[in-house]
Structure 1
């Protein structure tokens, strides 16, 4: 079937499988075998974890590119355009190459049902194969063992963090979830774990697979000293590194990946990386007067990171928050209820979207003394934004837009529209 635009292709692939998520490798592997793809000149780096995947992929990609290597990076989800998911040397692919990739996948699948994510993953692999790259950096979408990214064998597997999330798909305890995520490891290949307090199943899985495990606080470590930090491991050390804008835990894991895969990074290159690396939607300042930050924090671990970032602001901020109802809303609010002077809670659309009233009820459960007039409900980010902006300007407070990729995407779409006027 031929489609004339990327929008048409995306609409088509969304309709090709009845389920949004269906974990498993059989369907994708059948199509992958028909594509007869090669591998990059050097290595495939696959990144899994509950939080920190995106920032880890971003830092690895930037470092490798700045060292003169060509890099393909596959991440998800996107904010404004599907093109964000598949990048060549840090630049999103254009519509034309994406359409060619979808045409190739469509021809190869020959009636095999693929989910939207499987279709997308295969397209990314096809594009990378046809771009003659040095490295592929692949972000796992959900879990690890049965995620479609795991169709290709990783030369370097990376685990960023493990916490309770997607329990309906991955299991209801950390040991089970960690085993699923560690399923990206391969025999005689490197598995770098940046997980703090790692479940035993990571080491067990590495032993069963025969992977070469290197763990934070066992094989490498880092320490913070006011406004600089240090890393040590594998008989190497780096002192007085600049604090990155992305999470420090992930920066430490990135150094470990580079060191143990034999890149021999130097301090000057690392300092430049951590001074410049950024990622859309990770406590990112996107506007001034008032200051507006966006953050995709949507689970307890990310909420704890956001709470620590908020403490560094000169004034207590205002929240614009929308969440999906299958997230641990109660735990997120437990970390953040007192972090904001005022809450503008929004409904999110779709069957997974939580209502603003649900967010308010969760806040009141953990902060029952919070004044009722500090909690506001709206039907959308669009309807909440004018009121939040008015309060922020009057009180000279910053705004944090957070709670979901959907929330941040809605805000970015609104701000893009305004900038285009």
Structure 2
């Protein structure tokens, strides 16, 4: 065995893995998984798609927790601490729990080959061993995603809205992106309402090939679900996209035999159209569809947009969508290898005629009559919240 990993704590070991977007080998994770002696939970639910995976998975986990089940919800990425990816029985796992899972994995020499995200998935498998339900969120892919080594054990797969994102990995067409994600379909699947109609036909075609029972959740089904009084009471303060994600989760929970949501814990996943002050909203949106969702919330309201993004994102389309709402764009500093060069962002702002300047957080923000929206992926939300929490 390579003893390097066994000498390191889980935190140091993950740091040694380097970038989350490491070189991909689709044969690596299946080989590692096959070598593990790992007891799997009886019920595994895989969440795939582009937008809304985290919130949909958390709603499902909360519904199961309300029934007294032991549940692990594995999600990614995280805002502040890696531990946030593992939500077990209503709490974020501790450093000690992660260390114990890490030590268990280090008994297998093959895990040294795993990438950062693959190792996170393996940690989730260990942490879920004493749970009845494992709600498992795929990374950016589907068919070859690390979590899809569980395909034959997945009881139900849930596909959230599929859109353009990570095109450098998944392809430049909605057909290629959707096909890659949908090929992970299990024998029972739910498809959330889609922006691109071709996704539905691709899903139906794949369902036939793999003999899957596919439930297509139409807008009418979602709207009907949202009319129930107990549903309306729970989602009273939710943004429209969260309401839809909640309705999808309610349909999935009903299929699992969970109809009573009266004791469902409050939604606790941060930075999803979250108001952290009367005039400050923060959202981990990362593509054009997320921008449209924010524009729907804002209506005709004008705001200061605290923003930054990664090089691979379609910044021009995102800012074009939000331009009618932007009084001023405030560039939030982020330290990430994939951050868009500032001159490129400034060039897009100039092209679109959007006023901009560097963002500086001071105490006057809370007294400002102007509303602020923090938007632009987890790195932006993390950077802003670190400044927010450190303010005097």
- C-alpha offsets along residues 119-139 of structure 1, whole Å, 9 cap, x if unaligned? 11011101111xx21100001
Equivalent residues in 2 for 1:262-301, closer than 5 Å: 262-263=257-258, 265-266=259-260, 269=261, 273=264, 276-288=266-278, 291-301=279-289
- Over residues 338-396 of structure 1, what are the superposed CA-to-partner deviations in whole Å (9 max), with x where a residue is unaligned? 21222112353333101344334324434x3x5xxx321x3xxxxx2336x64x45641
Alpha-carbon RMSD across the aligned residues, in angstroms, is 2.5
Alignment CA distance shift 1:240-1:350 (3 Å)? closer
Contact 1:45 1:155 in 2 (8 A): yes
Structure-2 separation of matches of 1:320 and 1:308: 18
Change (3 A) 1:214 1:110: closer
Mapped to 1, the partners of 2:348 and 2:228 lie a distance apart of: 43
SS in structure 2 at match of 1:122: helix
**Match of residue 353, structure 1, among 339, 350, 353:** 339
1:39-96 Cα deviation digits (max 9, x unpaired): 213x111001110001101101111101111101111111111100112112111112
**TM alignment of 1:127-276, pairs within 5 A:** 127-129=127-129, 132-153=130-151, 154-186=154-186, 189-196=187-194, 197-199=197-199, 200-217=201-218, 221-223=221-223, 230-231=224-225, 238=228, 241-242=231-232, 243=235, 245=238, 247-263=242-258, 265-266=259-260, 269=261, 273=264, 276=266
Matching of residues 86-105 of structure 1 within 5 Å = 86-105=86-105
What is the rounded CA distance, in whole Å, between the counterparts of 1:106 and 1:13 in structure 2?
14
User: Hey, what's the Cα distance between the residues in 2 that align with 1:64 and 1:5?
Assistant: 32
Larger RCO (CA under 8 A, 6+ residues apart): 2
Instruction: Note closer, same or farther for the CA distance 1:192–1:111 as it changes in structure 2 (3 Å cut).
Output: closer
Long gaps (5+) in structure 2: none
**C-alpha distance in 1 between matches for 2:247 and 2:128:** 27
Work out whether residues 56 and 254 of structure 1, in 8 Å CA contact, stay in contact via their aligned partners in 2: yes
Equivalent residue, structure 2, for 1:9: 13
1:59 is matched with 59
SS at match of 1:101: helix
* Distance across 2 between alignment mates of 1:5 and 1:293: 36
Task: Indicate the residue corresponding to 1:402 in structure 2.
Answer: 375
Where structure 1 has 5 or more consecutive residues not aligned to the other structure, the ranges are 224-229, 379-383
Measure the CA separation in 2 of the matches of 1:256 and 1:78. Answer: 27
Deviation at 1:97, TM superposition (A): 1.9
SS at match of 2:225: strand
> Quick one: structure 1 residues 106 and 54, their matched pair in 2 at CA, closer, same or farther if it must change by over 3 Å?
same
Alpha-carbon distance change, 38 to 111 in structure 1, aligned in 2, over 3 angstroms: closer
Aligned counterparts of 1:279 and 1:61: Cα–Cα separation in 2: 11
Instruction: List structure 1 segments (4+ residues) > 6 angstroms apart after TM superposition.
Output: none
SS of equivalent residue, structure 1 residue 162 = coil
Calculate the TM-score normalised by the size of structure 2.
0.88
